[in-house]
Amino acid sequence: MRTKRWGAGLLGAVVFVAMGAVAQSAPPQDPPKPPAKKEEAKKQKPKKVWTGEDLAKLRRPVDKYRAEKDKEADEAAKAAAAAKEAAAKEGQAKPEEKPPEGPINPATGKPYVDPESVEGMEKLLAQYEDQFKRSEEALEEARREMNTQRDPDRWESAKLKVETYEANILDLTQKMEETKAKIAAAKEKKPAPPPAKSGGN
């Protein structure tokens, strides 16, 4: 067993000595030369100077959209400020108006209108007529939708819309007729203003 170790040790020593001899016999290597500064300057790219146009090219469509909306909002704010300023100047030039008679609605700043007065009923009638018109338009749209649907669920949904709008129109028609009757009755009760006296006596 000793011989096997001796043989392995001897072999390792021979390999180590041989490697050292090869390393000494090789010519020493020179470190690489640094490149000349002139060559280095030629190889370097010039630094990019970013301009506003270059930055605009980098923007995504979302950024462009936001910039446009911000610009529109700024312009609208400036226009509102100018209108407010003009109104303030105009308000200074106008004589002071009398405050409205009766209680004031804090939400609108206008006087309350008695719902039982002719003016109040006419205002209510106008609201009913506007709702009636919008309901008729919605009904026509729902009928078109119902006629074009092939899916049973969507057809049922459109049918339900049609029925709802038809019921709404009937209800509004009844309310408009009642309001018109109330207006006519209120106008009949209202006494006519006395005739103007002529100053020829």
Q: Are 179 and 173 in contact (CB under 8 A)?
A: no
Which residue type, as a one-letter code, is found at position 68?
E
Mean pLDDT of all residues in 141-152:
88
179 within 8 A of 128, measured Cβ to Cβ: yes
Which carries the bigger pLDDT value, residue 132 or residue 100?
Answer: 132
Q: pLDDT tens digits for 14-44?
A: 666 666 655 555 555 555 665 556 666 666 7
Q: Pick the more confident residue, 116 or 93.
A: 116
Of the chain, the percentage scoring pLDDT greater than 90 comes to: 14
The band of 201, judged by pLDDT with boundaries at 50, 70 and 90, is very low
